[in-house]
């Protein structure tokens, strides 16, 4: 028997008390974009602008979760979920970004939290999953330091209202996407293409995280607070020095620019030099004020890890090696996002985070795959590729735990098919299939497989 077959037949048991959950985000599922006093968000503005979303769609209705949440909680309960990670829509709470609180918005999340707890499901709240109130964007958005102050006010309002019942808080989801993808690459709202702005955004996000953590802890005693980063590990396209140099840049820009300050190491000097050379720091790091770095390095209770894929990294041009070029590995396997399936990168990433940064606990706050499989004539959704993806990534996660990584929970992305940002509704990440015409929910085979995994704490 080969090593591989031996490993694949061994039952995998997760540690007792391992948390099994699924995740969503407000704009991707709620709909009801202008109901009960909700203000406009940058994603409303972006998706209502022609040409921004691949299929021309928007989140106006999405999965109509705002009205169907009791049904969705029942669905979660039927799958045996122990935890549910969802985000709060800032413009439902503070339609103008700061100031006047919209009580119906708070009430919605309060009912949701109560409903989850009554169903035995632990709520994990993400405060910011990308839907900035448009009013704050009009005043400068994340490139302005005042937005970091506004975030703390928002975090205060929400944690005061829900902090008696919610014991797990994530300040931000994926600062890389909010800064670089949204302000430099321009693919996400607000769609800027301004490298200098993206670095200011990154700093203000991290700063707002650092400022908010003690506020949340004060309002929600005994709770655990962390932040979620997205990780796309790179591998150099060749052993050449130029490709390794491109790999270093890719890692700095994608990961270390966020990890290093969060773990008290300041911004990485190599990247400050690169960003300066790229013209992203025309006035230097002037946005960093006295005390900021200490605030950002506040002790947290966990690091949230979102992992989907890896990228191969190649030097773009020997004469000017920045920025790098990335592409999915050829001769491999990909999901419908054209993202390579590469579970070993998750294993390596978890080890790296543990040995290099030592977060006290790690949650995988997102992991999953986009495959469009829909119901067959019997209404069954045979999404075997998703089951294989999940099984392989959970096996990698389990290996990391065996290696000493303090991984304490896993959230599949996503509970149900939803609005996949600039890619619209064609990309389906759900464990549960959604018929967008009727809003019918139908668990896919992967959901039923996951239900068994949860029940057995392994597979």
Nearer to ligand IFM, 28 or 208 (CB): 28
Among 30, 40, 340, 366, the one annotated catalytic: 366
Place of tokens 């090593």: 3
Nearer to ligand IFM, 263 or 429 (CB): 429
The 146-185 site mask, x for binding ligand IFM (CB under 6 A), equals ----------------------------x-----------
Q: Which residues contact 19 (CB under 8 A, 6 or more apart)?
A: 82, 83, 122, 363, 408, 409, 410
Dist CA 266 CA 273 (whole Å):
14
Does the active-site annotation cover 174?
Answer: yes
Nearer to ligand IFM, 44 or 420 (CB): 420
Q: Which two three-digit tokens encode residue 328?
A: 């999915």
Site size toward ligand IFM (CB under 6 A) is 8
Does the active-site annotation cover 245?
Answer: no
Find the shortest distance in angstroms from Cβ 25 to ligand IFM. 5
Among 174, 311, 340, 420, the one annotated catalytic: 174
CB 234 within 8 A of CB 247: yes
Nearer to ligand IFM, 24 or 208 (CB): 24
H or E element, residue 162: helix 145-162
Find the shortest distance in angstroms from Cβ 272 to ligand IFM. 27
* Pairing mode of beta strands 122-128, 168-173: parallel
Please tell me whether residue 417 binds ligand IFM under the rule CB under 6 A: no
Question: Distance of CA 347 to CAs 191, 249, 344, 400, 428, Å?
Answer: 33, 22, 5, 6, 25
Question: Distance of CA 32 to CAs 14, 28, 39, 60, 76, Å?
Answer: 39, 11, 11, 6, 21
Q: Closest Cα partner for 390 from 374, 366, 422?
A: 366
Please tell me whether residue 292 binds ligand IFM under the rule CB under 6 A: no
Where b means 16+ CB within 10 Å and e means fewer, 175-214 reads bbbbbbbbbbebebbbbbeebbbbbbbbbbbbbbbbbbbe
Find the shortest distance in angstroms from Cβ 366 to ligand IFM. 5
CB 61 within 8 A of CB 433: no
Q: Which residues contact 132 (CB under 8 A, 6 or more apart)?
A: 41, 42, 90, 97, 141, 142, 147, 189
Find the shortest distance in angstroms from Cβ 413 to ligand IFM. 6
The 53-72 site mask, x for binding ligand IFM (CB under 6 A), equals --------------------
Please tell me whether residue 413 binds ligand IFM under the rule CB under 6 A: yes
CB 136 within 8 A of CB 147: yes
Find the shortest distance in angstroms from Cβ 410 to ligand IFM. 15
The 300-339 site mask, x for binding ligand IFM (CB under 6 A), equals ------x---------------------------------
Instruction: By CB under 6 A, name the one of 366, 373, 383, 417 that touches ligand IFM.
Output: 366
Instruction: By CB under 6 A, name the one of 12, 19, 22, 25 that touches ligand IFM.
Output: 25
Find the shortest distance in angstroms from Cβ 1 to ligand IFM. 37
Dist CA 284 CA 74 (whole Å):
52
Q: Which two three-digit tokens encode residue 289?
A: 């004020």
Instruction: By CB under 6 A, name the one of 30, 72, 340, 420 that touches ligand IFM.
Output: 420
* 3 state DSSP class of 118: helix
Nearer to ligand IFM, 274 or 340 (CB): 340
Residue nearest to ligand IFM (CB): 25
Nearer to ligand IFM, 161 or 390 (CB): 390
Residues 245-284 that bind ligand IFM (CB under 6 A): none
Tell me which residues are annotated as active site. 174, 366
Which residues of the chain form contacts with ligand IFM (CB under 6 A)? 25, 28, 174, 306, 366, 413, 420, 429
């Amino acid at each position: 028997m080969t090593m591989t077959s031996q490993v694949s037949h061994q039952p995998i048991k997760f540690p007792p008390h391992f948390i099994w959950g699924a995740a969503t985000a407000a704009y991707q599922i709620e709909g009801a974009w202008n109901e009960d006093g909700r203000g406009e968000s940058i994603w409303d503005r972006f998706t209502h602008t022609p040409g921004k979303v691949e299929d021309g769609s928007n989140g106006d209705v999405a999965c109509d979760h705002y009205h169907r949440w009791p049904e969705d909680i029942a669905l979660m309960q039927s799958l045996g979920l122990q935890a549910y990670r969802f985000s709060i829509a800032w413009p439902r709470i503070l339609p103008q970004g700061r100031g006047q609180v919209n009580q119906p918005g708070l009430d919605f999340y309060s009912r949701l939290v109560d409903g989850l707890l009554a169903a035995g499901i632990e709520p994990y709240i993400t405060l910011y999953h990308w839907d900035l109130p448009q009013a704050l964007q009009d005043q400068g958005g994340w490139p302005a330091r005042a937005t970091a102050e506004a975030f703390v006010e928002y975090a205060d309002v929400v944690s005061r209202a829900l902090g008696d019942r919610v014991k797990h808080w994530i300040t931000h989801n994926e600062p890389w996407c909010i800064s670089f993808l949204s302000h430099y690459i321009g693919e996400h709202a607000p769609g800027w293409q301004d490298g200098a702005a993206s670095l200011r955004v990154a700093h203000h996000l991290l700063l707002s995280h650092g400022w908010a953590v003690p506020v949340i802890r004060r309002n929600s005693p005994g709770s655990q607070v962390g932040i979620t980063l997205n990780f796309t590990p790179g591998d150099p396209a060749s052993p050449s020095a130029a490709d390794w140099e491109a790999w270093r840049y890719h890692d700095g820009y994608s990961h270390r620019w966020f990890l290093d300050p969060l773990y008290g190491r300041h911004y990485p000097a190599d990247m400050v030099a690169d960003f300066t050379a790229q013209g992203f720091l025309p006035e230097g790091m002037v946005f960093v004020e006295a005390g900021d770095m200490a605030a950002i390095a506040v002790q947290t209770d966990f690091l949230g890890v979102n992992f989907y894929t890896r990228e191969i990294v190649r030097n773009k041009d020997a004469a000017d090696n920045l920025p790098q070029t990335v592409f999915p590995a050829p001769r491999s396997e990909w999901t419908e996002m054209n993202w390579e399936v590469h579970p070993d990168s998750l294993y390596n990433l978890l080890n790296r985070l543990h040995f290099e940064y030592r977060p006290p606990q790690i949650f995988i706050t997102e992991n999953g795959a986009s495959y469009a499989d829909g119901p067959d004539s019997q209404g069954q959704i045979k999404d075997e590729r998703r089951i294989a993806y999940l099984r392989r990534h959970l096996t990698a996660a389990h290996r990391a735990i065996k290696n000493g990584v303090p991984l304490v929970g896993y959230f599949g992305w996503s509970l149900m098919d939803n609005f996949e940002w600039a890619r619209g509704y064609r990309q389906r990440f759900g464990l549960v299939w959604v018929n967008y015409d009727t809003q019918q929910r139908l668990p896919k085979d992967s959901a039923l497989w996951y239900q068994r995994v949860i029940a057995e704490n392994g597979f």
